Amino acid sequence: MTNPPALVWFRRDLRIKDNPALHAAARSGAPLVCLFVLDNTGAFAAGGASRWWLHHSLVALQKSLSALGGTLVVMHGPASKIVPQFVDKIGAKTVFWNRRYDPDGIETDRYLKTALQGAGVSVNSFNGALIREPWETETGAGAFYRVFTPFWRAMQRLGPSRAEITAELDASFKDLAKDIHTQGTGSNPWGLLPTAPNWAAEFPDSWVPGEIGAHKALRDFVASTIDTYDTDRNRPDLERTSRLSPHLAFGEISPLQIWNAVHAQISAGNIIEKSAMTFLSEIAWREFSYNLIYHYTDIQTTPIKPNFANFPWRDDDHLFQRWTKGQTGIPIVDAGMRQLWRTGWMHNRVRMIAASFLTKNLLIDWREGERWFWDTLVDADAASNTASWQWVAGSGADAAPYFRIFNPVTQSEKFDPTGAYIRKYIPELRELPDKYIHAPWKASHAILDEAHITLDQTYPKPIVDLQTSRQRALDAYATVKSS
């Protein structure tokens, strides 16, 4: 009798190393079949930029699997239908996957577990996405953490809740019949690439989707940049962050691998501990966001702070469009929004400034911004995006108090002091002296003329007055703060 195959269902865990589901399936001794389902259903179906990254990540995973003698089957449709049909087709008796923590992912997991077990198939699910699962880090009272600092302290005290798998994968793969290959052909086999890309054109060469690229990014960052992370991470002009976010979002590297690699370098005395721990605290923000999305299942639509339910957001599509296009007249906001559109990524400090400008100066609902980021970020992540937007808007757990409204000009002067970041993404302001680059409307006609700028022709005047709109935001907040 032939040994029935085991199905490994890949999700946002597109890697071979430290992949608990894949390694457990290999240990079962059954020949493996690997599946990825392109599921466009649910609130967190991949947006445009993520689909671009996903294409390249799937190509990389296919390459790695084929080097091991396997293959990756890619199918389109709702996972809740495709997975059981495929299990049936290949005659699998066991299925392995790594868990998801967003509401749609959890519902799919639950549904599939019941359906497959009901059909006599054994289901094995694992933690492949987090250092500690959301229910594993609790307060002394047995509740989940709503505030980051004690959460981070607990994470440091408790450490990872599973051991990293460092052994090489030792698996055998089932030979698949030709009719099972449903991955299409050509350069865009799954229809994930945009047909007329006007973004990603400036994607940095150093940014390589896939597991190999992820580990190279980590190695490069630890070797050359981590020591200055503590002091320079807020500087968009210096590019001193790890840029690991899309790799993490697609599970090309696990946060546990990052945690262990950084701790090993600290122990060896190769890197500065304080700076490295600041970096790991950002990885912990990711964990905290997963903790929030797991416990606040409607985080994408409902403010965590109930008093924000009736916040008087303004509906203004014209201003929203200006924001998305980087045409607000506030250079740091526009530079960020153009970086996002052109490269699929934006520096964290600028994300905060741009999000604050939308939700406070324009008084536009954070859910609009969340959707735009979801579609345009290559690192779009259900947990980090929703939690961060609520954080900036003031409605989130442990959020910045609403009344602490960023002044984008002072933020810009502080974090992009020479205007290098602004000049990179807004070439029409390139010739403006440093003194005016953050607020061109303050420059005299003579200075603007010399820099070849005509406000509202070559570059917009601010679409709102920063002082007036700040006060309007505070007034709006006053109407809900005690409700």
Ligand X SMILES: Cc1cc2nc3c(=O)[nH]c(=O)nc-3n(C[C@H](O)[C@H](O)[C@H](O)COP(=O)(O)OP(=O)(O)OC[C@H]3O[C@@H](n4cnc5c(N)ncnc54)[C@H](O)[C@@H]3O)c2cc1C
Neighbours of 224 (CB within 10 A): 10
Residues 229, 349: Cα–Cα separation, whole Å? 13
Site string (128-167) toward ligand X, x via CB under 6 A = ----------------------------------------
Q: Which is nearer to ligand X, 280 or 439 (CB)?
A: 280
Asked if 233 touches ligand X (CB under 6 A), the answer is: yes
Burial 264-292 (b: 16+ CB within 10 A, else e): ebbeeeebbeebbbebbeebbbbbbbbbb
Q: Which is nearer to ligand X, 14 or 443 (CB)?
A: 14
DSSP 222: H
Which parts of 377-465 fold into alpha helices (H)?
A: 382-393, 408-415, 420-425, 434-437, 445-450
Q: Is 52 a catalytic residue?
A: no
Site string (278-307) toward ligand X, x via CB under 6 A = ----xx-xx--x------------------
Q: Is 199 a catalytic residue?
A: no
Q: Is 391 a catalytic residue?
A: no
Q: Is 9 a catalytic residue?
A: no
Kindly state the smallest distance separating residue 206's Cβ from ligand X, in Å.
Answer: 12
Kindly state the smallest distance separating residue 398's Cβ from ligand X, in Å.
Answer: 11
| Single-letter code of the amino acid located at 410 | T
Contact of 14 with 252, CB cutoff 8 Å: yes
In the list 352, 362, 443, 451, the residue contacting ligand X (rule: CB under 6 A) is 352
Count the residues in the chain.
483
Asked if 245 touches ligand X (CB under 6 A), the answer is: yes
Question: 366-376 vs 382-393: helix axis angle to the nearest 10?
Answer: 150
Catalytic residue among 341, 345, 389, 391: 389
Kindly state the smallest distance separating residue 275's Cβ from ligand X, in Å.
Answer: 12
Binders of ligand X: how many residues, by CB under 6 A?
A: 27
The token pair at 158 is 């408790």
Which parts of 119-254 fold into alpha helices (H)?
A: 148-158, 211-224, 229-232, 245-249
Residues 78-97 binding ligand X (CB under 6 A) are none
In the list 19, 57, 241, 361, the residue contacting ligand X (rule: CB under 6 A) is 241
Residues 367, 396: Cα–Cα separation, whole Å? 12
Q: Is 97 a catalytic residue?
A: no
| Lookup result for tokens 């990014």 | 217
Catalytic residue among 124, 348, 428, 441: 348
Number of H helices and E strands in the chain, helices first, is 20, 5
Kindly state the smallest distance separating residue 193's Cβ from ligand X, in Å.
Answer: 21
Q: Which is nearer to ligand X, 171 or 283 (CB)?
A: 283
Q: Which is nearer to ligand X, 32 or 381 (CB)?
A: 381
Kindly state the smallest distance separating residue 245's Cβ from ligand X, in Å.
Answer: 3
Q: Which among 388, 19, 280 has a CA at the least distance from the CA of 171? A: 19
Q: Which among 110, 48, 41 has a CA at the least distance from the CA of 79? A: 41
Phi, psi of 144 (to 5 degrees): -90, 160
Strand, coil or helix: 258: helix
Q: Which is nearer to ligand X, 12 or 55 (CB)?
A: 12
Residues 359-418 binding ligand X (CB under 6 A) are 373, 377, 379-381, 384-385, 388-389, 392
Residues 4, 94: Cα–Cα separation, whole Å? 9
In the list 319, 337, 355, 422, the residue contacting ligand X (rule: CB under 6 A) is 355
3-state secondary structure 347-390: CHHHHHHHHHHHHHHCCCCHHHHHHHHHHHCCCCCHHHHHHHHH
Asked if 228 touches ligand X (CB under 6 A), the answer is: no
**Which part of the chain contacts ligand X (CB under 6 A), choosing from 74-82, 89-97, 245-253, 322-330?**
245-253
In Å, how far are 133, 248, 394 from 289, measured between CA atoms?
Answer: 11, 13, 15
In the list 27, 243, 263, 371, the residue contacting ligand X (rule: CB under 6 A) is 243
Q: Which is nearer to ligand X, 17 or 174 (CB)?
A: 17
Q: Is 341 a catalytic residue?
A: no
Q: Which is nearer to ligand X, 33 or 346 (CB)?
A: 346
Catalytic residue among 282, 413, 428, 431: 282
Q: Which is nearer to ligand X, 392 or 464 (CB)?
A: 392
Kindly state the smallest distance separating residue 280's Cβ from ligand X, in Å.
Answer: 9
Please give the residue ranges that form the binding site for ligand X (CB under 6 A). Answer: 233, 241-245, 248-249, 282-283, 285-286, 289, 348, 351-352, 355, 373, 377, 379-381, 384-385, 388-389, 392
Active site residues: 282, 285, 313, 348, 366, 389
